[in-house]
Amino acid sequence: MNKTKIKITTIFLLMLFIVSCDKSERKLESLPSGFISVNDFKVHYKEYGKGDKTLIFIHGWGCDLNTWKYQFDYFKDKYRVILIDLPGYGQSDKDEKEYTIDFFAQSVLKIISDLQARKPVLIAHSMGLPVAIEVLKQLNTDNAMLCNIDGVYFDFPADSGENQQYIEGLNSFANMFKGESYKQNVELFCKGFITETTPEDVSDYILATMTKTPENIAFQSMKSLIDEKNWDKKIINNKTIAIYAKISELPPDNENILRKQFTDLTYIEMEGVNHFLMMEKPKEVNEILEEFIER
């Protein structure tokens, strides 16, 4: 083989190697990890892509950034994507700390600031919704958008008697996440998200990830989640979409409840899914999100 052929072959193999590496980089599990420090507390994230808008994914209670693996696969070449492990979850620190909605929000805000994420699109699941709401309040910009994926939302009654009863019910629920029955209660809680139609990989993720949440982090997160101070109903004028699973537990007036706080709301209910709808029917959810983001 002459020198010219050897050179061409070498260049061709090098190109194949680069392409192969690039494809590997695009897998969520293969992306390098990043960390930011919030009051000496390390918060883990992964970042990929580029674009005018930045999609920022905020997971729910007991989960981690892998909740969004199907969204990453879909959006990775269309936008800049940032996926976060909230403090106490995933690869973020799990030190002794007060795990609150405000602390979670401060972590997201620090990532937005440090990574200079312009035009952020907050995509929040479950407990991630009140986190995203607090982030929007503090960002105080019309350039941000909110995508609510079956977000937890509490509507505290105005009547003092009803309010007290409502709070007592929430406290009883939160108290399930501490004490001798913690592991058993968490398993029952997680199984409530699984039906006979739930894809096996989704049920495996739920049971393998949520049930491993340390008790102190689980309880503190829940206590903060049900704290009335996090539900002040300050008006949010940012462009918002809410996608909920149409199940029996969903309030029949859910849309009207949300519209009291979110003035620019697109509301959708999906059939045949449960709480983890973005994993159960990712294609449908992703297409809805993309249409909303580009509208």
- Cβ-proximal residues to 108 (8 Å cutoff; 6+ apart), any chain: 56, 58, 84, 86, 122, 131, 132, 135
Encode the chain (295 residues) as per-residue pLDDT tens digits. 555 544 444 444 444 443 444 444 578 999 999 999 998 899 999 999 999 999 999 999 999 999 999 999 999 999 999 999 999 999 999 998 899 999 999 999 999 999 999 899 999 999 999 999 999 999 999 999 999 999 999 999 999 999 999 999 999 999 999 999 999 999 999 999 999 999 999 999 999 999 999 999 999 999 999 999 999 999 999 999 999 999 999 999 999 999 999 999 999 999 999 999 999 999 999 999 999 999 8
pLDDT at res. 244: 98
Round to whole Å and give the CA distance between 246 and 129: 18
Alpha-carbon distance values, 9 to 2, 14, 19, 20, 199 (Å):
11, 9, 15, 16, 45
- Cβ-proximal residues to 5 (8 Å cutoff; 6+ apart), any chain: none
Round to whole Å and give the CA distance between 286 and 291: 9
Round to whole Å and give the CA distance between 36 and 45: 8
Report how far Cα 200 is from the mean position of its chain's Cα atoms.
21
Domains in the chain: ranges and CATH? 31-156+231-294 (3.40.50.1820)
pLDDT at res. 97: 86
DSSP-based three-state secondary structure for 158: coil
- Cβ-proximal residues to 61 (8 Å cutoff; 6+ apart), any chain: 126, 127, 152, 210, 213, 218, 221, 222, 225
Round to whole Å and give the CA distance between 1 and 4: 8
pLDDT at res. 27: 87
Round to whole Å and give the CA distance between 132 and 175: 25
Pairing state between β 41-48 and 240-245: unpaired
pLDDT at res. 10: 44
List the structure tokens of 26: 């695009």
List the structure tokens of 6: 């050897």
pLDDT at res. 1: 52
pLDDT at res. 167: 97
pLDDT at res. 19: 40
Round to whole Å and give the CA distance between 51 and 44: 22
pLDDT at res. 8: 45
The gap between the terminal CA atoms of the chain, to the nearest Å, is 57
